[in-house]
Amino acid sequence: MRRKNTSAHQLDKLLLSTYTNFQSFLNKNLRSKKFVVGVSGGPDSLALAYLSKLYSSEKKINFICIVIDHGVRRASGKEAEKVKKLLQKKGIQSHIFKIDISKLKNFHLEARQLRYDKIAEFCNKKKIKYVLLGHHLDDQIENFYIRLSRGSGLTGLSPIKKVSKYKKHIFLRPFLSLRKRQLIKISKKYFNFYLKDTGNFNNKYLRSRVRKLRSFMEEEGFGDLRLLKTLDNFDKAGDALNFYSQTAKKKFINKQSNFISISKKLFNEPYEIVFRCISSFLTEKKDYPPRSKGITRLIADLSQSNKKKVTLGGYIFENGLNLVKVKREFRKC
């Protein structure tokens, strides 16, 4: 049986334009001969697998797909196997990993952490640095509304980064300028299949309610295009604040042999600079910091002239008059 040609030259104009942008992004940001692609079975991740296949064929490099089974639905195990077989038919290698979500309190946030940890663990074994993820434009917009509803500051409201670091790995998100409907077209055209997440229509989840809110906001004149301009402004402001935060971090936070010291002079800086310094410090070994209200409480405690001990994010903060000593919190199992 003759295999289907997957050359980029066989694509229609719309898909060719999408692939050209994808190719340009990876040419600029991918610095390795191998990478991993996170696949859920949704249209965004299957489109990502497809374009990765084109790119790897043209560049003669290798990639592996990681399929995560959350076990949310009874059929999730069978769905993961179906996705694996579908990828295999297209000559795409993949592995399935199951994560336990039974004890999660904040489902979306903690499930994402488990996914990233599982991918990072696999990458460590295979000595792979780069990971491609299928986040798209609709995710950007939904994240903004969700964080706005939680009272997030400028840090939380800033857009998802196309290039970010997680532990020792570089996460690349090439689809952040694409709408989901564009990725659905690619998935349908190449795979004639994608998983539909029924949770997307469940009002139990805030993200589902936000999706319904977007059409209303469009009617009221606060549509996606205006929001994207706002996100772009936040991003530019965030870059400037990150620059000054990094300067302050180098100046006031120092790693000693058995602890980390924070000069109390840090707390004389503008609040947003202090917040970003503490937040980035707490995310060095994680994907996200504790909730903003926890960091706000911590900053308020450490700004005082007392010798109080505070714990947050797996660290113990020993407050002093001129210095805060920070040590790892070791909990008994």
Pairing relationship of beta strands 34-39 and 62-69 according to DSSP bridges: parallel
Q: And the tokens for 243? A: 């620059």
What is the predicted pLDDT for the residue at 84?
A: 95
What is the predicted pLDDT for the residue at 313?
A: 84
CA distance 250 to 261: 11
In residues, how long is the chain?
333
CA distance 77 to 302: 47
With beta carbons less than 8 A apart as the criterion, state whether 193 and 86 touch: yes
CA distance 75 to 2: 33
The low-confidence residues of the chain, meaning pLDDT below 70, are 1-11, 104-108, 197-205, 207, 284-289, 331-333
CA distance 313 to 326: 11
At 166, the amino acid letter reads Y
With beta carbons less than 8 A apart as the criterion, state whether 266 and 302 touch: no
Chain segment 90-116, per-residue pLDDT in tens: 999 999 999 877 776 666 677 888 899
What is the predicted pLDDT for the residue at 1?
A: 40
Q: And the tokens for 220? A: 């009221």
With beta carbons less than 8 A apart as the criterion, state whether 311 and 317 touch: yes
CA distance 73 to 79: 9
Angle, nearest 10°, between helix axes 43-59 and 180-191? Answer: 70
CA distance 8 to 56: 11
CA distance 215 to 210: 9
Quick check: helix, strand or coil at residue 40? coil
Phi and psi at 321, nearest 5°, equal -75, -40
The domains located in the chain, with CATH, are 8-135+161-199 (3.40.50.620), 249-328 (3.30.465)
Quick check: helix, strand or coil at residue 34? strand
Residue 1: burial class (beta carbons within 10 Å; 0-12, 13-18, 19+): exposed
CA distance 139 to 180: 9
With beta carbons less than 8 A apart as the criterion, state whether 299 and 324 touch: no
